[in-house]
Structure 1
């Protein structure tokens, strides 16, 4: 069902998830607007990937509502077409080349994005025909990011997108994130390395005790709050 006009582009209300009698996500609320990047920070095992799986309809929430562009997550086909989330680069099809993986994504999301332009944008020409199983982790990571762009989804979700990338490629990906924001995309990601993302992050959150806590986007404040909560 299409919700009323004027709702946020991406909204979570009262989301909870329990596993083995443990509350992983507790009454979580979150909103995000078009053209922004939000970064979630928390130690391993605190629920970041679980949250992303819930948003992507891969886990069944106990209670709550998730909406993208006015469409509720219960309307799975249209909702799922509006987001892209691949947990990590190991989820790529190993026996396919970079181009073949991107062609699959383009078909599944019914996208009109030019794959060759994305390959050039991410400087993947030298390994576009290489099979994923023969790629380095850094190459795989770039294919994963390319897949998100090729999907042309409105909400792009990444779990540690800068993993295994060197400084040159981190700079390239940050410039890409800025470009995607200008196109109106929403980018939700997690990272342990906030130092490399501060310049492109609009909103920063700690995932603490199953809820999102907004944190000022200033390095010293981030460090102080982190050690206060997670020490």
Structure 2
């Protein structure tokens, strides 16, 4: 369980105030907000990339630093080294997360195998996003934190991803937190929708 208690986040301006929530295994959570209101900052706060103003974040009863192998978060394709390739990243993730996932199967899922050894500097946005998706599934982490992961994906790939995320929730008991602009088309089981607005985040009916 990812437990958030009395959380406040402030960067150049206040982002979130007094947020309390429990993100549970076997559940999918979508966080919706206008651009610039702090969706990414919330994920960064969970993973210690930015400090929190007040409150506490516990991952299965421990701090993120004590349990970070349970979480996979790769913020955006901007983090990718353009001189490396898909295979470089996927092998690294598999090793660092001590995963038993199949590299071959995950590269085939959205077609990454077609350009696995091509330098990332030659990728389109869609190709980069497919690599990011493959990295999540190769990690096989208990918690996926996905920030606008569907950007650049075509409709077919998005639907494939949503179906797979449902399976990850049902069969592997994953806790998945995802920010996305495609709220109307999300069809994922055990889903919850949270809205971030005016420095407050709350769950709203589907």
* TM-score where L is the length of structure 2: 0.93
**RMSD, aligned α-carbons:** 1.5
CA deviations over 1:38-87 (Å, ceiling 9, x no partner): 001110111111111001111111221111222223xx1x3221111111
1:51 to 22, 38, 42: 42
Moved more, 198-207 or 83-92: 198-207
Partner of 2:58, secondary structure, is strand
2:82 to 94, 104, 110: 94
| 1:24 to partner: Cα distance | 1.4
1:163 to 148, 151, 176: 151
Runs of 5+ consecutive residues of structure 2 not aligned to the other structure = none
| Higher-Rg member (1/2) | 1
Q: Which residue of 2 aligns with 1:121?
A: 109
CA–CA distance in structure 2, aligned partners of residues 139 and 19 of structure 1: 32
Q: Which residue of 2 aligns with 1:66?
A: 57
CA–CA distance in structure 1, aligned partners of residues 202 and 126 of structure 2: 31
CA contact (8 A) 2:31 2:180 kept: yes
1:11 is the counterpart of 2:3: yes
Partner of 1:214, secondary structure, is strand
Q: Which residue of 2 aligns with 1:33?
A: 24
1:153 is the counterpart of 2:141: yes
| 1:200 to partner: Cα distance | 4.5
CA–CA distance in structure 2, aligned partners of residues 199 and 19 of structure 1: 32
Assess, with a 3 A threshold, how the Cα gap between structure 1 residues 201 and 85 changes in structure 2: closer, same or farther. same
CA–CA distance in structure 2, aligned partners of residues 199 and 86 of structure 1: 21
CA contact (8 A) 2:31 2:195 kept: yes
CA contact (8 A) 1:57 1:80 kept: no
* TM-score where L is the length of structure 1: 0.84
1:203 is the counterpart of 2:196: no
Q: Which runs of 4+ in 1 moved over 3 A?
A: 198-201
Assess, with a 3 A threshold, how the Cα gap between structure 1 residues 48 and 61 changes in structure 2: closer, same or farther. same
| 1:201 to partner: Cα distance | 6.2
CA–CA distance in structure 2, aligned partners of residues 156 and 42 of structure 1: 19
CA–CA distance in structure 1, aligned partners of residues 199 and 19 of structure 2: 7
| 1:116 to partner: Cα distance | 1.4
